[in-house]
Structure 1
Amino acid sequence: MGYGLPREERPRKERLNAIAKQLVNFLLWQDSAKNISKATIKVVACPDPEALLSRLLEIWPKDALPDHISVSELSLEAFVNHQAVYLSPDAPRALDPVEPPPRVMIVGMLIDRRVQPNRSRLRAEKMELSLARWPTLEGWDPQEPFNVDCILEGMQQWHWNHKEGSGGFLEAAQQALRHHRERHPQRVQHIPTHSIVDQ
């Protein structure tokens, strides 16, 4: 479940382009995977759903978007229940990498690379939702935010790994970060020293 689009009556075109590209990155990877069990993605609190859907369709290579993604202008509160976990780099606790990942997650959308400290934490506390960040890894700043496509891929693969008994969070994170580096080779990398993606 994605949340965090700017509360603008008509979001700027570059903002819509940024989030559309990240969602399509994830959907393309998800579509190429052999696993037929795919996570449902809901983009909520979107001030202009038609504009975002239109942009998604422009860059999606098929005639129609997958059935498991939707966009709504309704607020986050209209969708969540108290089983949901709000994923945030500001969370005081990390998800347990040896446990199964949460079934329902809320992922904030970092679309312009500007971090707003504690925004997601305060939002989760106001809604009385559980708050957590990605599991801590050596050489990783636990408070560093990641792109939406990277987080979604990591969480989807973690679900698949746990279900199939073929690994866990570490393997999912390695893959997601490797794909992130391939998509954005010019961008500053998330792990400057001991890199899990090269192991």
Structure 2
Amino acid sequence: MAAGEVLAAPTTSVRLVVGADPAGLAAARRARTALALHGAVLDAVALAPDGLDAADAVAGVEAARTDLAPLPLAAVPLAAAAPTGLDALRALPGLLPDGAAALLAAPRGPAASSVHRTASGYRFDLRLGLLPGADVELARRGDDLLVAVPGARRGVRLPSVLRRCEATAARVRDGVLQVRFVPDRALWPATRTREQVTT
């Protein structure tokens, strides 16, 4: 099975372990967006504040609460080497409190993407965990919406109802990339009946 299929499988979720310093938090933000862009579920972030003074550790945790909300946060000690394998992860207090089963049974969040009917057309939401002002580039190639964010790029297959539409605007709101579409009149007969959109 390809790595992408494993990440997107309904039984897979991801838990990150990062330092509580600015570089670690920046890496967690990039990873959150890249994972979401590829359909993976990030269910928690473990912060390793060791090596920081008390004030910096507190500041790091507070920044993580703001930037990574609503993800659960856990604090773990900094290890001498990166934890590899389930045995090493089990040894990290707070990361797998109920063992490997907790990781595999983690509840999945809302769908990574959804379509909503609007007064003028449709809105396509991609839950990428983006911060306000995030650098996002969009392009259209056939039935795919090409999405590029710092450190990740992917072609997202558009739902069928949007393949006959044109993208007119995009914004980031509450971590969600919202792209507005209007019907391409050359592809939508004027007498077309209103479609039911599954969200």
With structure 1 as the length reference, what TM-score do the two structures score?
0.26
Of structures 1 and 2, the one with the larger relative CO (CA 8 A, separation 6+) is 1
TM-score by length of 2: 0.26
Greater C-alpha Rg: 2
